[in-house]
A and B are shown apart, each in its own frame.
Chain A
């Protein structure tokens, strides 16, 4: 196992300790509460949690990870369909309900995130399909009284080769359901025979998302439903003291004004009534201890912790000694801001609480946590809480949080009708849970030949994992997510020292954000590698290349990106070209970016060329799409984004102040994939992780090094 998976494999072990089931080998039998597999009473064939085949040939694949744009419904359906031997046009897909069967082993809970989905399901979903196919073949062979080895499968049919007889999977469903599961492991196809995997397939969700019929959480309609919108205390930790709702209740269409400890919800016949009602409230908050927090408070405490004690997170060789003896010593401090998720679909949740049951329609990356939270709020047992996961209009980690489901349940338990709560964009941005701000200091030593001899690195910032999965915080207090890109690099570095000073951000809750530790880590490491190259008076590509000694895959992507980007060719005046090389989420990426700086200080990213080796590819064009989109997402943040605080309140309230890269500002992007037979790496966050470093290095090539994000911000 390569070092980049340290964090993942450790969480895997934790998951195992927590009672993880091998989903594809889930025993059939008595109804498993909460799965929809058992809601169908027609006696379908459901050998595991991922495949269900009905006598009418309805073939349903239940997909463990939620679709939020990353194409995972298509990719996971391909994995099952490849081994089940059905065409993608023959299947229907279903979002997994909350259930232990769908726990993501690498994360330890049922969650979609961390670029883990394909890594985690690469084998298990193929096995799920293969088990189903094996039983269907056996059922056919039993009916025909022939040797199963004389049967083949194709497109949802079993064929007895010598006689040409066929039976459809549906015709075999009842008999197959009565068979015991295969005793041992089932054989998987040789990759050379893959029909689907590795061959570009159109997205299964494409047509519905093009004709407007795709249902997102915000689109849910229920009989008798009313719509609410919320104002929570704008200062974290504050509480509601008093609300005067007399004017709100006079707004036509307003039906209810509901309160909980730290928020008010106005309910109306439609969103507009609720919104007008909310604006008509006079609310008095007790803002609490965070009422004086400002952005300066956040940054100051981070910079202060560059001095003083810290926990050793990683040490290899005598880095400090080597740096002391080095011919050239390079030091740099980098600063990264709080970031919002700003998903296109604002936070929403539809929930109906009755004395008997609770139904939740929501887009969530953590279905079980969301369900369990509603059970706790309503007092209903978990098996009476039904969560229906919906298409997510952008996740990026925002929907790894479920506090908006908790909040919706707290309001909905006060009324009898189905309640759809929609946060305004202002509420969405100012009550987000933010990517933390960080400060990093790096010190490097070069020998007389300009070779890197040692790296010393301090990370200062919050430990998101301490709140999100406290059991996963390392015993020494290190959040292993912060080690991404920082401990395992694409380089052979003779000596390294990394320590960590944990400082939790005051006044905000910090959370996962696309690329997690990889995004912050690649920015600082690859910026610093560029600074070392400059100190060594070396070409940035050549400097990196000669350090890739025992990482041939890193060298291959670097060479390919440099070649395709025509590294070294002349650029127009004001142009700069930069490179970033990374190994995070089990995938190698090299990114060459070209920027154009104007005299007025504006930066335009003209072109990005990426070479990627993410191991075996499931759906090649969607890998390309994730890298393209990840880069754009990362560039918005790298160039423009910073969440700032004043008097404990977030100042960026909408897209006019939280600027997102637009089409006229977006670069031409080329992505080149390297053929690989290695196991799949993750891809959803890699482009985002690359963006800031590649852009900063391209800008630096025009004359000035930028060490503070955003690159066009006031602190840059």
Chain B
């Protein structure tokens, strides 16, 4: 039995140690906002925050999370930076199919929390791990820039 801190609450979970955090979130804790894309940390759809840093939940065995706080897309409601990011996303209609967007937003929030005024190169570097098949990159870049300009 493991205790996970997810979105500010403690959860007891009885799962195998090697089970990736992604599937604990989706299939055990009922938090499907975090998406499955590749299972090998290549696409970023499963991006969550562990201790405030963006990580790929599909490739992180749950036992390695320990007592570090986990934040998912469902846990951003009261977060100031995340609220600005959401607004920026909606303002310029970033999303298309939307499937990768929770991961994109988690990556963007983590970036902006560590660096509120990233350069274009820093944005590219931080976001290059998140694939979008619909090709919303230009708007993601613009939305991040708009947040940096607004805060």
Return B74 CB to nearest CB of chain A, in Å: 6
Q: Residue among A252, A394, A396 with the most chain B CB within 10 A?
A: A394
Whether A425 is near chain B, meaning CB under 8 Å from some CB there, is yes
Quick one: closest A residue to B141, CB to CB?
A: A663
Complex CA gap A209/B98 in Å reads: 5
Whether A69 is near chain B, meaning CB under 8 Å from some CB there, is yes
Quick one: closest B residue to A67, CB to CB?
A: B97
Complex CA gap A205/B97 in Å reads: 9
Q: Would B93 and A633 count as touching, CB distance under 8 A?
A: no
Q: Which of A70, A207, A212, A660 contacts B131 (CB 8 A)?
A: A660
Q: Answer whether A212 and B73 are a contact pair too, CB < 8 Å, given A394-B133, A633-B134.
A: yes
When distances are taken between beta carbons in the complex, the residues of chain A under 8 Å from B139 are 625, 628
Complex CA gap A689/B102 in Å reads: 28
Query: Interface residue count for B (Cβ, 8 Å)?
Result: 58
Chain A, range 641-685, C-beta contacts under 8 Å to B: 654-656, 660-664, 666, 668-669
Q: Answer whether A209 and B101 are a contact pair too, CB < 8 Å, given A628-B135, A630-B135, A633-B133.
A: yes
Interface string of B76-96 (1 = CB under 8 A from A): 110000000010011001111
When distances are taken between beta carbons in the complex, the residues of chain B under 8 Å from A215 are 32
Return B106 CB to nearest CB of chain A, in Å: 9
Q: Would B72 and A212 count as touching, CB distance under 8 A?
A: yes
Whether B28 is near chain A, meaning CB under 8 Å from some CB there, is yes
Q: Would B97 and A632 count as touching, CB distance under 8 A?
A: no
Quick one: closest A residue to B34, CB to CB?
A: A212
Complex CA gap A632/B16 in Å reads: 39
Q: Would B36 and A69 count as touching, CB distance under 8 A?
A: no
Q: Which of A206, A272, A393, A628 contacts B23 (CB 8 A)?
A: A272
Q: Would B93 and A203 count as touching, CB distance under 8 A?
A: yes
Whether B39 is near chain A, meaning CB under 8 Å from some CB there, is yes
Complex CA gap A422/B136 in Å reads: 25
Q: Would A425 and B37 count as touching, CB distance under 8 A?
A: yes
Chain A, range 213-229, C-beta contacts under 8 Å to B: 213-216, 218-219, 221, 227
Q: Would B135 and A633 count as touching, CB distance under 8 A?
A: yes
Q: Which of B20, B27, B77, B98 contacts A214 (CB 8 A)?
A: B98
Q: Answer whether A271 and B134 are a contact pair too, CB < 8 Å, given A69-B97, A209-B98, A629-B96.
A: no
Comparing A291-299, A337-345, A463-471, A533-541, the segment that makes contact with chain B is A337-345
Q: Would A344 and B27 count as touching, CB distance under 8 A?
A: no
Whether A346 is near chain B, meaning CB under 8 Å from some CB there, is yes
Q: Which of A202, A216, A218, A660 contacts B93 (CB 8 A)?
A: A202
Interface string of A480-511 (1 = CB under 8 A from B): 00000000000000000000000000000000
Whether A118 is near chain B, meaning CB under 8 Å from some CB there, is no
When distances are taken between beta carbons in the complex, the residues of chain A under 8 Å from B100 are 344, 393
Q: Which of B20, B131, B137, B140 contacts A344 (CB 8 A)?
A: B131
Q: Would A272 and B27 count as touching, CB distance under 8 A?
A: yes
When distances are taken between beta carbons in the complex, the residues of chain A under 8 Å from B129 are 662
Whether A391 is near chain B, meaning CB under 8 Å from some CB there, is yes
Complex CA gap A386/B132 in Å reads: 31
Complex CA gap A636/B137 in Å reads: 13
Chain B, range 1-56, C-beta contacts under 8 Å to A: 15-16, 19-20, 23, 26-28, 30, 32-40, 42-43, 45
When distances are taken between beta carbons in the complex, the residues of chain B under 8 Å from A342 are 133
Chain A, range 384-399, C-beta contacts under 8 Å to B: 391-396
Q: Which of A211, A216, A422, A669 contacts B138 (CB 8 A)?
A: A669
Whether A418 is near chain B, meaning CB under 8 Å from some CB there, is no
Quick one: closest B residue to A214, CB to CB?
A: B98
Complex CA gap A633/B132 in Å reads: 9
Quick one: closest A residue to B101, CB to CB?
A: A209
Q: Which of B35, B72, B96, B101 contacts A218 (CB 8 A)?
A: B35
Q: Would B73 and A206 count as touching, CB distance under 8 A?
A: no
Whether A318 is near chain B, meaning CB under 8 Å from some CB there, is no
Q: Would B35 and A656 count as touching, CB distance under 8 A?
A: no
Q: Would B95 and A203 count as touching, CB distance under 8 A?
A: yes
Q: Which of A396, A631, A669 contacts B133 (CB 8 A)?
A: A396
Q: Would A654 and B134 count as touching, CB distance under 8 A?
A: no
When distances are taken between beta carbons in the complex, the residues of chain A under 8 Å from B26 are 270-271
Whether B114 is near chain A, meaning CB under 8 Å from some CB there, is no
Q: Would B38 and A654 count as touching, CB distance under 8 A?
A: yes
Q: Would B38 and A655 count as touching, CB distance under 8 A?
A: yes
Complex CA gap A68/B139 in Å reads: 18
Quick one: closest B residue to A393, CB to CB?
A: B99
Quick one: closest B residue to A668, CB to CB?
A: B138
Complex CA gap A669/B43 in Å reads: 23
Quick one: closest A residue to B127, CB to CB?
A: A663
Quick one: closest B residue to A71, CB to CB?
A: B96
Q: Residue among B23, B32, B135 with the most chain A CB within 10 A?
A: B135
Q: Would A655 and B42 count as touching, CB distance under 8 A?
A: yes
Q: Which of B27, B43, B99, B132 contacts A216 (CB 8 A)?
A: B99
Q: Would B133 and A660 count as touching, CB distance under 8 A?
A: yes
Return B75 CB to nearest CB of chain A, in Å: 9
Q: Would B137 and A663 count as touching, CB distance under 8 A?
A: yes
When distances are taken between beta carbons in the complex, the residues of chain A under 8 Å from B133 are 342-344, 394, 396, 633, 636, 660
When distances are taken between beta carbons in the complex, the residues of chain B under 8 Å from A343 are 97, 99, 133
Whether B67 is near chain A, meaning CB under 8 Å from some CB there, is no
Chain A, range 616-635, C-beta contacts under 8 Å to B: 621-622, 625, 628-633
Whether A183 is near chain B, meaning CB under 8 Å from some CB there, is no
Complex CA gap A68/B133 in Å reads: 11
Chain A, range 258-283, C-beta contacts under 8 Å to B: 269-273, 276
Whether A210 is near chain B, meaning CB under 8 Å from some CB there, is yes
Whether A424 is near chain B, meaning CB under 8 Å from some CB there, is yes
Q: Answer whether A664 and B128 are a contact pair too, CB < 8 Å, given A69-B134, A221-B32, A271-B36.
A: yes
Return B39 CB to nearest CB of chain A, in Å: 6
Whether B105 is near chain A, meaning CB under 8 Å from some CB there, is yes
Q: Answer whether A212 and B102 are a contact pair too, CB < 8 Å, given A202-B90, A346-B36, A632-B135.
A: yes
Quick one: closest B residue to A428, CB to CB?
A: B38
Complex CA gap A203/B97 in Å reads: 11
Q: Would A344 and B96 count as touching, CB distance under 8 A?
A: no
Interface string of A540-581 (1 = CB under 8 A from B): 000000000000000000000000000000000000000000
When distances are taken between beta carbons in the complex, the residues of chain A under 8 Å from B34 are 212
Q: Residue among A621, A631, A632 with the most chain B CB within 10 A?
A: A632
Q: Answer whether A654 and B95 are a contact pair too, CB < 8 Å, given A210-B101, A664-B124.
A: no
Q: Residue among A211, A269, A392, A663 with the most chain B CB within 10 A?
A: A663
Interface string of A47-70 (1 = CB under 8 A from B): 000000000000000000000111
Q: Would A344 and B45 count as touching, CB distance under 8 A?
A: yes
Return A68 CB to nearest CB of chain B, in Å: 6
Q: Answer whether A391 and B98 are a contact pair too, CB < 8 Å, given A346-B37, A660-B131, A663-B124.
A: yes
When distances are taken between beta carbons in the complex, the residues of chain B under 8 Å from A632 are 132, 134-135, 137
Q: Answer whether A662 and B30 are a contact pair too, CB < 8 Å, given A425-B39, A628-B138, A656-B40.
A: no
What would 12 more interface pairs be, CB under 8 Å, given A71-B96, A212-B33?
A203-B95, A213-B74, A271-B26, A271-B36, A276-B16, A344-B97, A393-B35, A422-B36, A425-B40, A625-B136, A636-B133, A663-B130
- Top-7 shortest CB links A-B: A632-B135, A212-B33, A393-B99, A209-B98, A69-B97, A212-B73, A69-B96
Q: Residues on A close to B: CB < 8 A?
A: 68-71, 202-203, 205-216, 218-219, 221, 227, 252-253, 269-273, 276, 342-346, 391-396, 422, 424-426, 621-622, 625, 628-633, 636, 654-656, 660-664, 666, 668-669
Between A and B, 30 residue pairs with Cβ closer than 8 Å are A69-B134, A205-B95, A206-B90, A209-B95, A211-B33, A211-B76, A211-B77, A212-B73, A227-B27, A252-B16, A270-B28, A271-B36, A343-B99, A344-B43, A394-B99, A396-B133, A424-B39, A425-B39, A628-B139, A629-B135, A632-B134, A632-B135, A655-B37, A655-B42, A661-B135, A662-B128, A662-B129, A663-B141, A664-B125, A666-B135
